[in-house]
């Protein structure tokens, strides 16, 4: 679910495709800069936590609100693709965005037991680095001149490490949490039933 988004750079459609190209470009610049700043702020918060607390534990409550805003705002990228203002496959974009939004709201928010510990720190770092690079790349793609080579290299190299982390690191924690829930609910019911039988 926690996928790394790899759609094509968010360049505006040509003038023949859209009437007000300047407005579209200004909107996309504002969107990408906002996301870049939001994810950069998340990185600052996490690094500050590591330095001050010297621990990776209990970091999620500090980033939860901003994370939910940044990731939920990415739903706009589905609309960007569907309306043609960026050259991306809207089905692929929808799948990528939905998987992350579902993880944030359907799993992390609704199951508080998944919020703590090492796994959440790992996938948050992977997501944050990925998105800072991605939105910086998109921003420079909208500017005159070539995208800086450093960003191009990061964009198409870091996924080798970050993609597996983003995809796999969250599942063991959720899997083990479900076992603890099973033990709490089913195990408690079995113990109660055994106790009632002894009393009878």
| Share above pLDDT 90 across residues of the chain, in percent, rounded to a whole number | 44
**Contact at 8 Å (CB) between 117 and 57?**
yes
Question: What does the pLDDT average to over 121-149?
Answer: 92
The predicted pLDDT at position 200 comes to 55
Q: What are the tens digits of pLDDT across the range 57-87?
A: 888 999 999 999 999 999 999 999 999 999 8
What's the token pair of residue 74? 């990415």
The predicted pLDDT at position 154 comes to 93
Ranges of each domain in the chain: 21-170
The predicted pLDDT at position 55 comes to 85
Q: What are the tens digits of pLDDT across the range 10-21?
A: 444 443 344 358
């Amino acid at each position: 679910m926690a996928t790394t988004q790899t759609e094509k750079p968010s360049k505006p459609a040509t003038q023949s495709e859209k009437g007000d190209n300047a407005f579209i470009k200004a909107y996309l610049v504002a969107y990408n800069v906002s996301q870049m700043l939001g994810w950069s702020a998340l990185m600052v918060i996490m690094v500050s936590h590591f330095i001050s607390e010297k621990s990776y534990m209990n970091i999620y409550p500090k980033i939860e609100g901003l994370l939910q805003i940044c990731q939920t705002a990415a739903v706009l990228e589905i609309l960007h693709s569907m309306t043609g203002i960026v050259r991306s496959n809207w089905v692929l974009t929808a799948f990528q965005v939905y998987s992350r939004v579902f993880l944030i709201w359907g799993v992390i928010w609704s199951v508080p037991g998944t919020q703590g510990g090492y796994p959440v720190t790992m996938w948050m770092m992977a997501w944050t680095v990925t998105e800072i690079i991605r939105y910086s790349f998109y921003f420079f793609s909208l500017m005159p001149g070539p995208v800086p080579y450093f960003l191009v290299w990061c964009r198409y190299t870091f996924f080798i490490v970050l993609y597996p982390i983003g995809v796999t690191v969250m599942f063991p924690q959720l899997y083990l949490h479900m076992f603890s829930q099973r033990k709490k609910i089913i195990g408690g019911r079995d113990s109660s039933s055994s106790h009632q039988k002894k009393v009878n």
